[in-house]
A and B are shown apart, each in its own frame.
Chain A
Amino acid sequence: MSGWWSGAPIRVRLTALYMAVLALMLVVYAAATFLAVRHEFREQLEEQLHQGVESQAAGGDQEPDPEERLQQQLREILVVLVLGLPLVVALAGVGGYVLARRALAPIDHLAAEARRMTADRLHQRLSVPNEHDEIGRLAAVINDTLARLDQSFGQLRRFTADASHELRTPLAVIRATGEMGLRETRTPAEYKDAIGSMLEEVDRLTRLVETLLRLSRGDAGTVRLSRDIVDLGDLARDVVTSLGILAEERQQRLEVAADANVRVSADRLVLRDAITNVVDNAIKYSPSGSTITMRIEADAVEATLSVTDEGPGIPAEHRERIFDRFYRIDEGRSRGSGGAGLGLAIAKWAVDANGGRLSLASSGSGSVFRITLPRSGPRANGAPDRGAS
């Protein structure tokens, strides 16, 4: 029974349910009507009997038995009710079925449209006949999902294309260098140079593959993060210690302005990666003599580490995609400085993985990258914190 019930189409179930309820209501209504009529008749009968007794006592004519007549009338009513009821229910059922089918037809239509969707046709959308009714809302929700899927697929396609481009470039260099090296006999120094150049490209390839692997593990969610209580000020000073020398080379000042004791619960190494990449980015794109400031602030719920530079800023049209993998504002410039355009993508992943947000505000006179993380709880003084995850 339950198997049949859940296996039947909605319109059948709807109609069956509707008929059952209607039948039940009609039966109750009919029974009540019948009982009320019978009660009324009985009272009339009793009255007549009284009158009859009086008239008999007065010696009147004998009429046909009124009780017999009453029973006859009640039976007729009963027959009408019993026969009429199924008929009414059946008619209502047919009507209900037709109605249900009409009401549900747009869903069939939606399903047929959705069935035609494939990864390659994600740009298509379902038609929304009436955006205010339930079906319309459903279609809108599905369309919304499709739009997001479309976007993710687009990103993935772009990523694959970019990745193969990035992988191919070093391969091309290796090949060309090797072929050139073999073309004619050269001096040992020239051979060394050629082999060194090939090794540099191998190194680049290796690092690229490692980074991609990290990102794809991050996507798959197979990276297990530890939860340490991290003092953001310490972490920032740590990054300054390791990257300070790069800023020094460019005569830049790297400063930390930190509120004391701003602690978050995060994977220390992963979070440091994020900060390192953001700061490295700031060093690379800031003019010499400028200042890069790491500012750490906190309110009751969130801690923020912002990296402010005095560089040229990031034009509005690039801001949206600045965290995309392989995205570079200036193709030619960044390759030379050794990046593959993955630094900020790694940073974003690292911040997201720790339950935070990485955002960018930029004007013509510099950029502010802001890492916002949930604060670790009040028990944060060295105690493991589970509340902030």
Chain B
Amino acid sequence: MVRVLIVEDERKLAQVLASALQAEHYDVVVAATGEDGFYRANAERFDLVVLDLMLPGRSGLEILQTLRQRQIDTPVLILTARDGIDDRVLGLDLGADDYLVKPFALPELLARIRALLRRGRPSDLLRLKAADLEVDLVARRVMRGERPIELTTREFDLLEYLLRHQGHLVSREMLARDVWKEPRRATPLDNVIDVQMTRLRKKVDLEGPVRLIHTVRGVGFVLREGEP
């Protein structure tokens, strides 16, 4: 089982994170102070550490630095409320593997965690499948059952992204950043994403036996067989 340590002093946030990760079948340990977090990260073996930067007692950056000095190279994802560039750069320089700025969307956190855990393992998938939908990434061909589907480049990228996160929620932030390659999210882009998603759904789902692409209100989208 994958073990994740959460170092977060905000009790409510720590609780929510813990239950979200448990729902994804991770083994979760929560440390509510910097001291405790440092002690555990040092003494036990974890596959991943989610580290808040603003902690009472011992700051997240300090913990990170000490861990890395001691050659403990567990992947660390830092959480910060300050989105000043300096903080992020400092964190990454000190050996963090990724960062998220509060307030973040839970699907995004989960996706980042999956990506960090997957790291090092090749993802040499050439074909992606869900129900009777098949996507050939090399030939860039999409089939729903026996029916070929013509997609634009953007629609194809979007579908590929949804399939790669199959069964997991995908937020608009994630799409903006990873599919549209926009570093900043803005209202116009949100509308673009929604329109693009509607079109993709029309092409992919209109004639299929089951609906695959679902909108989860207030959160984003998910590609999944059956109800979201």
Contacts and interface: CB of A to CB of B under 8 A. Distances in A.
Interface string A207-223: 10010010000000000
A245 to B, nearest CB: 5
Interface string B170-192: 00000000001011111111111
Given A193-B217, A197-B218, A198-B218, A343 B195 contact: no
Given A242-B192, A249-B195, A207 B218 contact: no
A200 B187 contact: no
Interface string A181-219: 000000000001101111110110011001001000000
A206 B190 CA distance: 13
A154 B151 CA distance: 52
Contacts, number: 58
B216 interface: yes
Contact of B184 (A195, A269, A338, A343): A269
A66 interface: no
Nearest to A217: B84
A338 B189 contact: no
B219 to A, nearest CB: 6
A246 B191 contact: yes
A243 interface: yes
B19 interface: no
A276 interface: yes
B201 to A, nearest CB: 14
Contact of A243 (B83, B103, B188, B218): B188
B188 A276 contact: yes
Most chain B CB atoms below 10 A, which of A242, A273, A277, A340: A242
Contacts of A243: 188, 192
B69 interface: no
Interface string A47-78: 00000000000000000000000000000000
B15 interface: no
B187 A199 contact: no
B103 A199 contact: no
Interface string A239-251: 0001101100100
Contacts of A280: 187-188, 191
Given A196-B217, A199-B217, A200-B218, A245 B183 contact: no
Contact of B191 (A193, A196, A200, A338): A338
Contacts of B217: 192-193, 196-197, 199-200
B196 to A, nearest CB: 6
A224 to B, nearest CB: 8
Contacts of B199: 245
A339 interface: yes
Contacts of B216: 196
A236 to B, nearest CB: 15
Interface in B184-219: 184-192, 195-196, 199, 216-219
Nearest to A204: B187
Contacts of A273: 184, 186
A196 B219 contact: yes
Nearest to B154: A245
A210 B103 CA distance: 10
A338 B190 CA distance: 9
Contact of B185 (A197, A207, A245, A343): A207
A246 B218 contact: no
Nearest to A213: B83
Contacts of A343: 187-188
Contacts of A277: 186, 188
Contacts of B83: 213
B180 A242 contact: yes
B118 to A, nearest CB: 27
A251 B176 CA distance: 24
Given A269-B184, A273-B186, A245 B218 contact: no
A234 B185 CA distance: 21
Contact of B196 (A192, A207, A245): A245
14 contacts: A196-B218, A198-B218, A199-B219, A200-B218, A202-B103, A203-B218, A242-B182, A246-B188, A246-B191, A246-B195, A273-B186, A276-B188, A277-B186, A338-B191
Q: Give 5 closest A-B pairs by Cβ, nearest first.
A: A199-B218, A196-B217, A196-B218, A280-B188, A200-B218
Interface of B: 83, 103, 180, 182-192, 195-196, 199, 216-219
Given A197-B218, A199-B218, 10 more contacts: A196-B217, A199-B219, A242-B182, A246-B188, A246-B191, A246-B195, A276-B186, A338-B187, A338-B191, A343-B188
